[in-house]
């Protein structure tokens, strides 16, 4: 049960919450119990799970990454987006979420974010559900 989500970023570095979109995909497939895999097939983007209630958390993460992996640096990569590759490596390209009772088994404050580090771009996120 593989599907994908298309999304567009509007700025160079952006965290886009995709929890509801993944839940809608889950509802469509009708999986009541199992596992959800989320995978980002891009080398300058990532996916992460973190707090969704307070938007300052994602801002703090972006500020930290910008300070420790600045856009301009002594990079050798010719395309000029080495910082995006490094940030994507640090956060990772996939997440695994359990499914219980037809819902993503996230914590009270958790949300799933697509992390753009080389935008603006149109991107794809793959979602696979495995029934238990």
pLDDT digits (tens, 9 = 90+) for 23-81: 999 999 999 999 999 999 999 999 999 999 999 999 999 999 999 999 988 898 988 89
For residue 122, give the CATH number of its domain.
2.60.120.460
pLDDT digits (tens, 9 = 90+) for 66-92: 999 999 888 989 888 999 999 999 999
Domain with 74 in it: 2-131
3-state SS of the chain?
A: CEEEEEEECCCCCEEEECHHHHHHHHHHHCCCCEEEEEECCCCCEEEEEEECCCHHHHHHHHHHHHHHCCCCCCCCCCCCCHHHHHHHHHHCCEEEEEEECCEECCCCCEEEEEEECCCCCEEEEEEEEEEC
Look at the chain and report how many structural domains it folds into.
Answer: 1
pTM given for the model? 0.95
């Amino acid at each position: 049960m593989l599907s994908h989500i298309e999304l567009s970023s509007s700025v160079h570095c952006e965290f886009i919450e995709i929890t509801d979109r993944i839940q809608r995909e889950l509802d469509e497939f009708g999986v009541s119990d199992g596992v959800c895999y989320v995978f980002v097939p891009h080398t300058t983007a990532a996916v992460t799970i973190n707090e969704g209630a307070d938007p300052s958390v994602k801002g703090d993460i972006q500020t930290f990454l910008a300070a420790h992996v600045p856009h301009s640096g002594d990079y050798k990569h010719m395309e000029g987006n080495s910082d995006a590759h490094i940030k994507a490596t640090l956060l990772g390209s996939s997440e695994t979420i359990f499914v219980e009772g037809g819902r993503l088994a996230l914590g009270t404050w958790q949300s799933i974010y697509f992390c753009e580090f080389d935008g603006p771009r149109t991107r794809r996120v793959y979602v696979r559900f495995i029934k238990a």
